[in-house]
Amino acid sequence: MGNLFGTDGIRGAANDYPMTAEIALNVGRSVALLFKKQGHRAKIIIGKDTRISGYMLEYALISGICSMGGDAYPAGVLPTPGLSVITASSGADAGIVISASHNPFYDNGIKIFKSDGYKLSDEMEAEIESLLLSEIFSQQCRSVRETGSVYKIEDAEKQYAEFLKKSLESADKNDLQNRFTGMKIILDCSNGATYRVAPRLFADIGADVESLFVSPDGKNINENCGSQHTETLAETVVKRKADVGLAFDGDGDRLIAVDEKGNRVTGDQVLAICAKFMKQKGILKNNLVVSTVMSNLGFKLALKEMGIRHIESDVGDRCVLQEMRVYGAVIGGEDSGHTIFLTHHTTGDGILTALKLLEVMKAENKPLSELARVMAVFPQILMNVEVDSKPDIETVPEIQAEIRSVEKRLGEKGRVLVRYSGTQPLCRVMIEGPTHEETRQCCEQIVRAVRETLGIKKQ
């Protein structure tokens, strides 16, 4: 055992290591021990998405928490950002989400939040792994008189919806029910954690709402729907003559939008739209936006054109958040659709991002297709190569020669990013360029070098 935590919690195929009932049991025990206070039972909130394996892992976590004398508060199906909200507002010591985000139903994951609604630091994750490896459980298990209890939270979705509404109230507290009257919205809830709360919320604030993929069966989460697969959403937006389509991922922390013409609006575009609006309103603290190294070149050029400072982080919303807190930014995100509005929330929130995007559309009185022109999206090609080993890319002369060749060819019209996957034996080659064809040619040029020098050799 070891290295359980990846870039966003523990994740893997459900019922297979590390996403087993046994590991979940011991995660529950570890979290209960880690957050136990003198003379105080650890209070731990648990939320989940709609995967069939969620029950298995939820009950295992509850058993582990109670065996250490902690109290478990299951909140049922709840988006990840909603669990963060409930954890912070209820006086809980920690919160645990059971979800594998945008992955297929047969995967699952465990994410842990602290009492303030922020995800665990690397140091705290390491401490949990250390507890999992130790023999401390046998020494610390409570007698039957000291085991914890289970208290179901019945109104978690309502609490989360009220939190989201408050993000809008500063503009006009008396007109919340009619805030988006006249806007026709199509929602794609990915058969995931937003399937109840999102349609109710948008209807409550006056929008004309039609909802897709709101019939989860435990196995259809993210299946040809949601933020990764917006084709059906785009068709429906055009067919229904809607103003916008909003697609969430399985656990509701991502948003990808579709404009009134059926065009996909990326996370980078949403981030640029909101940053521009915030600057105009004088609320873009430190005139700064944070995004990852994977952000589109067009995003960086757009910020430069708008006179907005830009800081890059490593991949992952936790890394974005870390840089935001260090440099004092109030907005940051990823092209995949994670957007963090730090004035309102401690983590990426798909529904909150959707509300903020609708606010801009309403205030500017412009269609999303026009707002999205704030940045040009450069063609981007990403190719993965299976590798035998992961030496420092800069120490492999054959690969470096091809990278320099491509960089010289593209000049300021594109960029090259070659990096290893943090969780798989893969080298990722990402190229952006002026045309799709030239970008593909450049990507294939570097991929060939990677495959010849580091690729898995066939027997």
Could you tell me which residues come within 8 angstroms of residue 360 by beta carbon, excluding any fewer than 6 positions away?
Answer: 273, 274, 277, 371
Length of the chain as a residue count = 459
Distance of CA 61 to CAs 29, 44, 64, 96, Å?
8, 10, 5, 9
Q: Which two tokens stand for residue 262?
A: 């059926």
Q: Report strand pairing: 415-420 vs 426-432.
A: antiparallel
Q: Please name every residue paired with 311 in a beta bridge, in sequence order, or none if there are none.
A: 290
CA dihedral of 162, 164, 168, 173, whole degrees rounded to 10: 0
Q: Just list the catalytic residues.
A: 101
Distance of CA 178 to CAs 173, 183, 205, 353, Å?
11, 10, 6, 19
DSSP 143: P
Distance of CA 341 to CAs 87, 108, 274, 301, 458, Å?
18, 26, 10, 22, 48
Indicate the residue type of 371: L
Q: Which two tokens stand for residue 52?
A: 């069939």
Helix, strand, coil % in the chain, rounded to nearest 5: 40, 20, 35
DSSP 150: B
Could you tell me which residues come within 8 angstroms of residue 124 by beta carbon, excluding any fewer than 6 positions away?
Answer: 34, 112, 114
Q: Where are the alpha helices (DSSP H) in 39-105?
A: 54-67, 80-89
CB 318 within 8 Å of CB 219:
no
Largest CA distance in the chain: 72
C-alpha 270/C-alpha 441 separation (Å) is 29
